[in-house]
Amino acid sequence: MLKKASGRDDDSGADWAQTMRGQLASAVAAARAAARLPAYRRAFRAAGVEAAAISADTWGSLPFLTKDDLIRGAQDNPPFGDRLGVARGDLAHVFAAPGPIYMPYTAGDMAHVAGSFARAMRSCGLEPGDLVDQTTMYNWVIAATVIDRALGMIGCGVVPGGIGQSERHLEVIRHLGVDAIVAFPTFLEHLLDRAEAEGRPLGLKKAVVMGELSHPDTKRRLHDTYGLEAREFYGVSDVGAVAWECTHGAGMHLRDDLLVEFIAPGGTTPVDPSPETPAELVVTDFHRKAMPIIRLRTGDMIDGLIRSPCACGSHAPRFTRIAGRAGEITKVKGMFVVPRLVGDVFLRHGIDRRYRLVVDRTEGGRDALTLEIEGAPLADAAGVQAGVEAALRMKLDMAFVDTLPEQGLRLLDRRNEGRPA
């Protein structure tokens, strides 16, 4: 028998459809196992699916898991909402998320989640030997614990700076000659701008950012202004890294060992994400043992998926950004309205103000859309209005208001107010 010179298959022949069939098979096995747990058994039964009947064909009839389900579960059946999948003695970590939700992990779960972060950050350009300032939170939540471990898996040196304390971060980055940083984009920009204002730029070369709705222009600005190569990944707190950029920076590749579904906003049917039909990401983690995660609604929406192979050789589809939160995208006059498109127009006009879109129903039963902008009327109000109408492909009214809520949603839907629920 002849031995081939190279028996190793590379990724070039793999196709994503085949990967997805494998993901679905693993998800089915995980859901069947989860059906042993009272909370999942109740939810599946309520949806008319018995454990033995869970298959690739019936997958779409399994109920979704929401953040509300987790919170209510933790309140009604504390502390783990009848979802603990292992003996208490097998827990390696329990994180306390706001809500309060307690998220348990076995040692194996932690290794797997850390592995996903390591893949994400390696793909984003971190290498063995990089000294990295880790700026996410170390207490209570999973973020820093698992990212710290992932950096170690890559072979990076970690400076465990944690959240806040900008001055201290600036000082330590300068003293140590830190190469790279893991940060939320707004914190990173804050640090860089502050260093620039002090006239003492930082020597950072790479940044890995996540967790906020970052704008593509942000990465360009960081590169042009600070010579900093910023790459992004998208993570879900209960699952880990879900999609990440490669060094080509042409969108975030979906992770291949999770099932990610694309579901109509507020609905239950699968959709192909596009600007006309944005989709919510729904994730099933078939590795988690301590608390299985089956069809978790992330609330994060995408408005497109790039399926052509990437220059890096990966066939995993990519999306370029999170287009918004599920509660922020709605149908008006039969069209989906994505508030962040307003932000894009503002950016082009150099406007930095709070805004919100308000949907009302007129007495004639028609939808009416108003863009509320905080502050005095803009000099170029007509131009901005035309830009927003073109972006949303919809006519609207514009109103200037004294104040808007600091943390509020950018979409307020008042169409059902005053009606019986």
Minimum CB distance to Zn ion smaller for 104 or for 251: 251
Q: Does 14 bind Zn ion (CB under 5 A)?
A: no
CA separation for the pair 340, 348 (Å, rounded): 13
Ramachandran angles phi, psi of 14, nearest 5° = -70, 140
Nearest-approach distance from CB 178 to Zn ion, in angstroms: 26
Smallest separation (angstroms) from Zn ion to the CB of 210: 17
Residue 310 lies near Zn ion (rule: CB under 5 A):
yes
Q: Which is nearer to Zn ion, 67 or 248 (CB)?
A: 248
By beta-carbon proximity to Zn ion, the closer residue of 74 and 208 is: 208
Distance in angstroms between the alpha carbons of the first and the last residue of the chain: 73
Q: How far is the CB of 156 from Zn ion (least distance, A)?
A: 21
Is the alpha carbon torsion for 307, 310, 315, 321 positive or negative? negative
Buried b (16+ CB within 10 A) or exposed e, 306-330: eeeebeeebbbbbbbbbbbbbebbb
Alpha helices in 96-199 (DSSP H): 107-123, 143-154, 166-176, 185-197
* 211/130 Cα distance (integer angstroms): 22
Candidates 18-26, 227-235, 278-286, 310-318: pick the segment binding Zn ion (CB under 5 A): 310-318
Give the binding-site size for Zn ion (rule: CB under 5 A). Answer: 5
Q: Identify the residue among 305, 312, 391, 398 touching Zn ion (CB under 5 A).
A: 312
Question: Which three-class secondary structure state does DSSP give residue 119?
Answer: helix
- Interface with Zn ion by CB under 5 A: which range of 113-121, 230-238, 305-313, 333-341? 305-313
**Residue with Cβ nearer Zn ion (135 or 314):** 314
Indicate the residue among 118 and 293 with the shorter CB distance to Zn ion. Answer: 118
Q: Quick one: 35 or 243, whose CB is closer to Zn ion?
A: 243
Binding mask 242-271 for Zn ion (x = CB under 5 A): ----x-x-----------------------
- Tell me the three-class secondary structure of 209-262, residue by residue: EECCCCCHHHHHHHHHHHCCEEEEEEEECCCEEEEECCCCCCCEEECCCCEEEE
Please report, as a single letter, which amino acid is at residue 402. D
Q: 327 near 411, Cβ under 8 Å? A: yes
How would you classify the pairing of strands 180-183 and 157-159? unpaired
User: Is 24 an interacting residue with respect to Zn ion (CB under 5 A)?
Assistant: no
Write down the least CB distance from residue 251 to Zn ion, Å. 8
* Residue span binding Zn ion (CB under 5 A) among the ranges 80-88, 187-195, 304-312, 330-338: 304-312
Nearer to Zn ion, 143 or 302 (CB): 302
Q: How far is the CB of 313 from Zn ion (least distance, A)?
A: 7
Under the rule (CB under 5 A), what is the footprint of Zn ion? 246, 248, 310, 312, 314
